[in-house]
Structure 1
Amino acid sequence: MNSDIAVKNHDLKAGFVSLVGAGPGDPDLLTVKGYRVIQQAEVVVYDRLVSEQILALADANAELIYVGKKLDFHCVPQEQINQILVQKAQEGKRVVRLKGGDSFIFGRGGEELEELAEYGVAYEVVPGITAAAGATAYAGIPLTHRDHAQSVQFITGHVQKDGREIEWQSLAQSNNTLVFYMGLKQSGHIMDNLIAHGLDPQISCAIIENGTRPEQRVFQGKLNELALLAEQAQSPALIVVGSVTELHNKLDWFNK
């Protein structure tokens, strides 16, 4: 395997950023390419959900910079994160920007690359397993199934940047599996709006807490119980709405 295949057209002495998705939690789900570039990094800029096992892959001399965020608290503002990446690359460093899940699915990876592009910094993207795929697989919940759902939608539970509401009617009237990221605090709002716009209150749903990690827990019930289920769960957690969640008890393998 050619370790420089993705960066062969760049002068690494001029600085380079690898945007790496670390996966949903289980360190074994890190990609081979992600593993390699972390080991080669001189600087690792990492988020809260990156596991200690993955951080331990970095070189002992690498500079580790924590820029984690949690609900209602940003340790480092996004604008400052962008500038850290630019600055370290301009110093000629080989930088890894390490995020939980996949950087392009509600990870603000695109915003960070726009900043790098503006400053002429060379970069690559190393995809990761997103939480929706990893957490549901470990919970025995297939996102699609011929008897349940032909498609899946990923939705952020956060208020959109411009303040616009989610297209609730479109979601409620679809036959898709609905996966809400970062929606635990908004579970009551999600429940009320889906029901108000026509989704069956008795449809099955689940909350997956700490998906793919040893402490993973799954709370299953009906849509009209979602807010009560959320009271039992802690962040990080993923909300899944749809009849595919009925398969959890039958197909769960991770906690058996």
Structure 2
Amino acid sequence: MIFKNPKLTVVGAGPGDVDLITLKAIKTLKNADVVLYDALVNEELLDHINPKAEIIFVGKRRGCYRYQQEQINDLIVARAKTHGHVVRLKGGDPFIFGRGAEEMEFAASFGIETAMVPGISSSLAVPAYQNIPLTKRGNAESFWVITGTTKDHKLSNDVAIAAKSNATVVVLMGMGKLPEIIKLFQQEHKNNLPVAIIQNGTRDNEKIAVGTVDTILDVVKKQKLSNPAIIVLGEVVSHRQILANVQQEHQKALIA
């Protein structure tokens, strides 16, 4: 038996569209001995994995945990020692609320070599696919990316701070806290601020709801949106409709 150096590479799979994974990530998958992948990873990406590699689903969904995080950590270390190169394939970018840093620190504490391949974060790509820029001159000079649910299962205090700013606010994993988020923006008298909620972003079954702080809860209920979804609050949401209007006017001009 050939001894393989134990190694962990944490890889970002991107937001859902398989074409948004990086070349470096594909090369890493082809060199894996074991791949542990999450629920948000598009399973079409499994076709790019080394055919000799062991593939293990360790996905987590709200209220349904195939593996606890501690078990995943232990599995990484165990497989690295027995098999060699473990690839931890995670949705979006593993360093943006993906717990990639925690897994690397745990592996490193056992003397295992670690590496990281960044992924395209859903916080950027999902709004972009719907023609919503997070920054735009005259509308937003900065943006916040905030988790909707903290380690203690509470809404992050940063949402209240962000609501006071003129920045675009992107909330991940926040659908369960949507009424609380909306209330914070209403308290800042931002009742007419545009809001977009995008479910299954960049995938074939993507759905979007657009409204204002005052109307978005009704729109979401009517369109039956749920997790996994991203919440975008800011004037930049209006760019989507502005662009559509410009394109429509252009088409009318061509016909005329």
* TM-score (normalizing by structure 1): 0.89
Superposition map of 1:45-60 within 5 A? 45-60=36-51
Match of 2:197 in 1: 207
Identity of aligned residues (%): 38
Match of 2:139 in 1: 148
Report the CA distance between 1:164 and its aligned residue. Answer: 7.6
Higher alpha-carbon Rg: 2
- Relative to its length, the structure with more helix (as a share) is 2
Partner residue of 1:167 out of 158, 164, 167: 158
Residue-by-residue CA offset, 1:200-248 (whole Å, 9 max, x unaligned):
1110000011111122121100012232233321321100000100112
Counterparts of 1:136 and 1:115, CA distance in 2: 33
Check the 8 A contact 2:209/2:216 in 1, yes or no.
no
Check the 8 A contact 1:141/1:251 in 2, yes or no.
no
Check the 8 A contact 1:184/1:230 in 2, yes or no.
no
Q: Give the aligned CA root-mean-square deviation in angstroms.
A: 1.8
Q: Does residue 236 of structure 1 match 2:228?
A: yes
Check the 8 A contact 1:171/1:194 in 2, yes or no.
no
Counterparts of 2:18 and 2:98, CA distance in 1: 18
Report the CA distance between 1:165 and its aligned residue. Answer: 4.5
SS in 2 for 1:202: coil
- Between the two proteins, the alignment pairs up a number of residues equal to 241
| Structure-2 change in CA distance of 1:234 and 1:168 (3 Å) | closer
SS in 1 for 2:211: strand
Check the 8 A contact 1:211/1:217 in 2, yes or no.
yes
Gaps of 5+ in 2: 249-256
| Structure-2 change in CA distance of 1:89 and 1:251 (3 Å) | farther
Partner residue of 2:241 out of 231, 249, 253: 249
Match of 2:52 in 1: 61
Match of 1:4 in 2: none
SS in 2 for 1:28: helix
| Structure-2 change in CA distance of 1:248 and 1:193 (3 Å) | same
Residue-by-residue CA offset, 1:100-159 (whole Å, 9 max, x unaligned):
000000101111111011111101000000001110110100000012100000010113
Match of 2:128 in 1: 137
Check the 8 A contact 1:42/1:94 in 2, yes or no.
yes
Counterparts of 1:135 and 1:225, CA distance in 2: 21
Counterparts of 1:161 and 1:234, CA distance in 2: 21
Check the 8 A contact 2:168/2:233 in 1, yes or no.
yes
Check the 8 A contact 2:12/2:91 in 1, yes or no.
yes
Check the 8 A contact 2:140/2:236 in 1, yes or no.
yes
* TM-score (normalizing by structure 2): 0.89
SS in 1 for 2:131: coil
Partner residue of 1:124 out of 100, 109, 115: 115
Report the CA distance between 1:250 and its aligned residue. Answer: 3.5
SS in 1 for 2:126: helix
Match of 2:9 in 1: 18
